[in-house]
Structure 1
Amino acid sequence: MHWTDRLHAAVLALADLVNRSDLDARLLADSGIKLDRALFPLLSRISAAGEISTVALANLIGRDHSTVSRQASKLEELGLVRRVPSSSDARMRHLVPSDAGKALIRKVGNVRRKMLERHFQAWPENDRATLVALLERMVGRN
């Protein structure tokens, strides 16, 4: 198999792994958080972006704009996100995580960190560092 085919297969498998709703449900449960697991990926993306429009969020996660808009409204009702004027165009409204949303993401992040540490505990530190560095390089974050 050509290396590009192996890379593609590995990236697909990784995407499947990180997008598993049962993993989100486990993270939420282990964090002691009661949140519809369909809302968690949205909150995660909003938090990672810092500020994002509903249209951009829908495109990013591959869902219909109207669905994302309803789910974002639910996150807003729960006090996990706020709508604010866009920093680039005051006529537009963007989603930003609220303090409660940031706290939830931090809490889940602590649980995720422990899960990943257990998963990779047998890997030498330099292998873990290389994995992170190569993934960051691949997605242009270095």
Structure 2
Amino acid sequence: MDKNIRQFYDALFDLIGLMNQPQRDSILLREAGVSLDRALFPLLVVIGLRGTVGIMELAGMVGRDHSTVSRQIATLGRLGLVTRLAGTSDRRERKVAATPEGLEIVKALDAARERLMQPILAQWDEQDWKTLVSLLRRFADDASALPGPGKDKKLPQ
């Protein structure tokens, strides 16, 4: 394997591992002043970022199965944080959007995430930070454009 690709995946897996640590979620929720089950808030954040998203697409984005996400969306709905919508092209398709209350929580989490990142950002040159963000966006967009499961080519793992 190419050394740069290996180093990239090594760093990526380190970041994913950090982001998936339950204690980090607890710290973020506490910093935001939000009382929400740790399993629910990532769904709410993605919905808040995407606007309206299909349940199947959301399940894929968070790496959970459809039935689990569907139950969790029902819980978020009972809490008044999301609303279910019928699909526009297929009535069987279920979509979900954040309510104004849900968007307020997303805003609080965004602000808390920013405060928690400040010690890291304080060590970075502004141009380095902008370059990292730009290159990450480019990589995510390029990777998203690759053929997905069920097509001729498989995505790298």
User: How high is the TM-score relative to the length of structure 2?
Assistant: 0.82
Q: Which amino acid aligns with 1:89?
A: D
Q: Which runs of 5+ in 2 are unaligned?
A: 143-157
Q: Does 1:5 align with 2:16?
A: no
Shift of residue 86, structure 1, vs aligned partner: 2.2
Q: Which amino acid aligns with 2:25?
A: D
How far, CA to CA, are the matches of 1:75 and 1:29 in structure 2? 19
Instruction: Give percent identity, aligned residues only.
Output: 37
Q: Residues 15, 88 of structure 1: CA spacing in aligned structure 2 closer, same or farther, 3 A cutoff?
A: farther
Q: Does 1:32 align with 2:39?
A: no
Instruction: Within 5 Å, give how 1:8-87 maps onto structure 2.
Output: 8-87=9-88
Q: Which runs of 5+ in 1 are unaligned?
A: none
How far, CA to CA, are the matches of 1:19 and 1:78 in structure 2? 24
Q: Secondary structure at the match of 2:14?
A: helix
Encode CA deviations 1:23-50: one digit per residue, 9 max, x unaligned.
1211111111110111111111212221
How far, CA to CA, are the matches of 2:93 and 2:31 in structure 1? 37
How far, CA to CA, are the matches of 2:67 and 2:25 in structure 1? 23
RMSD: 1.7
**Please, which moves more after superposition, 21-30 or 105-114?**
21-30
Corresponding residue of 2:128:
127
User: How high is the TM-score relative to the length of structure 1?
Assistant: 0.90
Q: Secondary structure at the match of 2:34?
A: coil
